[in-house]
Amino acid sequence: MKKQIIAAAVAATMTSVALADISITGSTKVNYTATEYDSAAVANTNAVATEHDIKIVGKNGDTSYTVSLEMDNAEDNGIDVEDNYITTKIGDFSVKAGDWDNGNNFLRESSRTNNSAEISTNVGPAKVTWWSGHGTADDKFTLSTDVAGASVKFVTQAKDQEYVVSGNVAGIGATVHMDANNAANTDKRSVELTGKLGGMGVKFVDVDTDTGAYFGGDMWYGDWEQTYGAAGTATAQGTATGLWYAQKGMDIRAVELSTAVAGNDVKFRHIAVDKDTATVDANDRTINRVIVTRPLAGGTTLEVMYTDAEETGDTAASYSQLDVELSVKF
């Protein structure tokens, strides 16, 4: 009798495992960077950094739970819980609740609001989404649809409006993004064009900000941080953190050329940043970057990136850097 009970318990456990719908994906990478500054007063650096990400999704019918974990060398507590949310369907409505990253774009860096909620549904050809953080001032409404082959999105939140239109014309992809904000001199806009020139891929982006606005985001044109000092000036680039900080009123233009050479993916990027004045002055920047990527045996990828960054009038923020990265996804 005892053996039968044990056998039944084991069988029940095996059944629950077999029926569970759980997926685990992730990535890990290690970077070695060697940075040489133009200023002799700034010490050159050599550093090794690691980044590990794991995403776990559990699903039961139309309901799923997602948790994303980040384990970087810079995390004091070892593990940082990133996304942590549930999604489900209630009739014609899709519901999402918890903590999640809203993603980067050319005008802003990503952000996360804890314990937020989102409800969306289709109304005719359009999708309507309501999002809320912790008060009516946070409420955000999004309307997205297709018009004559173009994707159109309109977002309104606290008297601020956001417009995104993207489409393809004669093989050239175009995306226009505009933020019309209620506060004076805080509007910003971006235009991205993508296409082919012979066998070469081409990207171009133009970002303009008003005198009281600044761009951000971790995009192909750089990892720009929306952080500046109390006086409204940019935090010094390079010496303290090695990050790129956007200053109010800055504009940016960037071009990327990409091709394949002997099994390698090769990209060249030229990035020009203007402080939004008529003359060349401090914080105007020119950045040239070459990236070579090659898949290796065993599922790993090798990326070698060389960057030359020059900031007008500031040799302490001007540098050249070699970044060698080994990464794997699973």
What are the chain's domains? 22-50+138-329 (2.40.160)
Q: What is the CA radius of gyration of the chain?
A: 24
Average pLDDT over every residue of 246-262: 90
pLDDT score of 19 more than 60? no
Going by pLDDT thresholds of 50, 70 and 90, the confidence category of residue 231 is very low
Region 79-102: mean pLDDT is 94
Cβ neighbors of 103 (< 8 A, separation 6 or more) are: 110
Residue of 249 and 132 predicted with greater confidence: 132
CB-CB contact of 288 with 278 (8 Å) = no
What one-character DSSP code corresponds to residue 316? G
Q: What are 93's strand-pairing partners? A: 90
Name the percent of the chain lying above pLDDT 90.
57
Residue 118 confidence (pLDDT) above 90: yes
Beta bridge partners of 203: 194, 256
Residue 79 pLDDT > 50? yes
Greater confidence (238 vs 270) lies with 270
pLDDT for the residue numbered 39: 83
Cα–Cα distance, 145 to 6 (Å, whole number): 57
CB count within 10 Å of CB 16 equals 9
Q: pTM of this prediction?
A: 0.82
Q: What is the pLDDT of residues 43-74, one digit of tens each?
A: 898 999 999 999 999 999 999 999 999 988 75
- DSSP state letter for 315: G
